[in-house]
Amino acid sequence: MRSLDEFATAKLEELERGSLRRALVDTTRVTGIWVLREGRRLLSFCCNDYLNLTHHPAVKEAAIEALRRYGVGAGASRLVSGNHPLLGELEARLARLKQTEAACVFGSGYLANLGIIPALIGPGDLVLIDELAHACLWAGTRLARAAVVPFRHADARHVDALLTELRQRHPRALIATDGVFSMDGDIAPLRAFAAMAQRHDAWLMSDDAHGLGVVGGGRGSNFVEPTKANIPLQMGTLSKALGAYGGYLCASAAVVELIRNRARTVIYSTGLPPAMAAAALAALEVIESEPDYAALPLAKAKAFARIAGLPEPASPIVPVLVGEPEAALKASRLLQEEGFLVVAIRPPTVPMGTARLRLTFTAQHPDREVERLAELVRKRIVALAPAITTEAQ
């Protein structure tokens, strides 16, 4: 269709003009940390494989064994073709780790958020969502067709004020936040949010995609403080520190049963492949039995930030803000010339004016390379960030 292609071409040109066009670049991950791109071997600091478990022998072996025994795909929805016992085993293990009564796995973290929120919240209800929450939490809230009100990032007082003003007008209310924020690496004030939820009878939901495996002794963002917050809806993914693929919700038995009955992305989407459940189970075994290993990504992020002259991070995610998209692309190219793969993050993933490098640290990053990268970032990016920004304008 000519009009369709004209539309696509015009949109792409608009993105190009704003340095916002994205491209898929062929890249092969050859180990948990090294990649091959355009004929070069680069050390990657942009993968969420925090514990390098994508390449862990026991995790791979578990997936291979399950694949041999049970085949590749799940064949149909869990409710149609039958529930693979590995899924039940994985759910029990996740629930135990998060200290909830039950859990439900999904095909991905994105699918989890698309399924959970509309199953619990509907037209007439209220969702308060952190302004910097992940795109799939936003997508889930939009599908719920509720009143959606963003609150200032990590601001429990704003949540309180909004609930005081709005709560009475809606039968049900949900507070949705990332646990560890994916682009900033900070941790939500979960106990303060839980107190607001309690005071106003709202349901707190955390997306801990980036917390599981790497903070709170590997249990996630709700285990960082000595006292846990009461979070009735704890969602996350198997695709980051666990090195596999899939999503989950940990919650009470009643909520999980309702989700299995009402979440459209459970009912109408093919179940998680058994090999992914087997890999996730093996990954959880590593995390629970090797807490010192699980602590390495955050330790490396802190060492990096100290040398680079950046604030101490709360998670293995360290943002280096440069401002404009072109400046972020330039900084990323500079690091690539030095052998590091660090992707530029641009709007709409982050707000306008906050384009950045987003570095993720993993257990196996060699200390010497972390130091070399930190020196480069300090001297050539942090020190010059305003200049890079101005030059791009």
Ligand X SMILES: Cc1ncc(COP(=O)(O)O)c(C=O)c1O
Give the active site residues: 182, 210, 240
In the chain, what is the straight-line distance between the N-terminal and C-terminal CA atoms, in Å?
Answer: 37
| Selected range binding ligand X among 83-91, 95-103, 104-112, 163-171, rule: CB under 6 A | 104-112
**Minimum distance between the CB of residue 198 and ligand X, rounded to whole angstroms?**
24
- Tokens linked to 39: 């004929």
Nearer to ligand X, 182 or 389 (CB): 182
Report which of 285, 241, 282 is spatially closest to residue 65, judged by C-alpha positions: 282
Does the protein bind ligand X through residue 49 (CB under 6 A)? no
Q: Which of residues 230-249 bind ligand X (CB under 6 A)?
A: 237, 239, 247
Report the C-alpha gap between 168 and 175 in whole angstroms.
15
| Selected range binding ligand X among 1-9, 207-215, 268-276, 377-385, rule: CB under 6 A | 207-215
Contact 266, 105 (CB under 8 A): no
Nearer to ligand X, 178 or 326 (CB): 178
| Selected range binding ligand X among 58-66, 116-124, 204-212, 351-359, rule: CB under 6 A | 204-212
Contact pick of 19, 44, 52, 182 for ligand X (by CB under 6 A)? 182
Q: What number of helices (H) and strands (E) belong to the chain? A: 16, 14
| Selected range binding ligand X among 103-111, 123-131, 191-199, 274-282, rule: CB under 6 A | 103-111
Nearer to ligand X, 324 or 361 (CB): 361
**Minimum distance between the CB of residue 209 and ligand X, rounded to whole angstroms?**
3
- Compose the 319-358 pattern: x for residues touching ligand X by CB under 6 A, - for all others: ----------------------------------------
Report the C-alpha gap between 167 and 171 in whole angstroms.
8
Nearer to ligand X, 173 or 242 (CB): 242
| Selected range binding ligand X among 95-103, 105-113, 147-155, 346-354, rule: CB under 6 A | 105-113
* Total of residues contacting ligand X (CB under 6 A): 13
Does the protein bind ligand X through residue 109 (CB under 6 A)? yes
DSSP assignment string, 18-42:
TT-------EEE-SSSEEEETTEEE
Report which of 104, 112, 96 is spatially closest to residue 218, judged by C-alpha positions: 96
- 3-state secondary structure (DSSP) of residue 142: helix
**How far is residue 378 from each of residues 176, 257, 300, 328, measured CA to CA in Å?**
35, 51, 16, 15
Does the protein bind ligand X through residue 360 (CB under 6 A)? no
Does the protein bind ligand X through residue 207 (CB under 6 A)? yes
**Minimum distance between the CB of residue 113 and ligand X, rounded to whole angstroms?**
6
Report the C-alpha gap between 283 and 241 in whole angstroms.
8
Report the C-alpha gap between 122 and 131 in whole angstroms.
20
How large is the angle between the packed helices 296-308 and 367-376, nearest 10 degrees?
30
Does the protein bind ligand X through residue 110 (CB under 6 A)? yes
Contact 203, 172 (CB under 8 A): yes
Report the C-alpha gap between 194 and 280 in whole angstroms.
29
Does the protein bind ligand X through residue 304 (CB under 6 A)? no
Nearer to ligand X, 222 or 389 (CB): 222
Nearer to ligand X, 220 or 389 (CB): 220
Contact 242, 269 (CB under 8 A): no
Contact residues toward ligand X (CB under 6 A) are: 108-110, 134, 136, 178, 182, 207, 209-210, 237, 239, 247
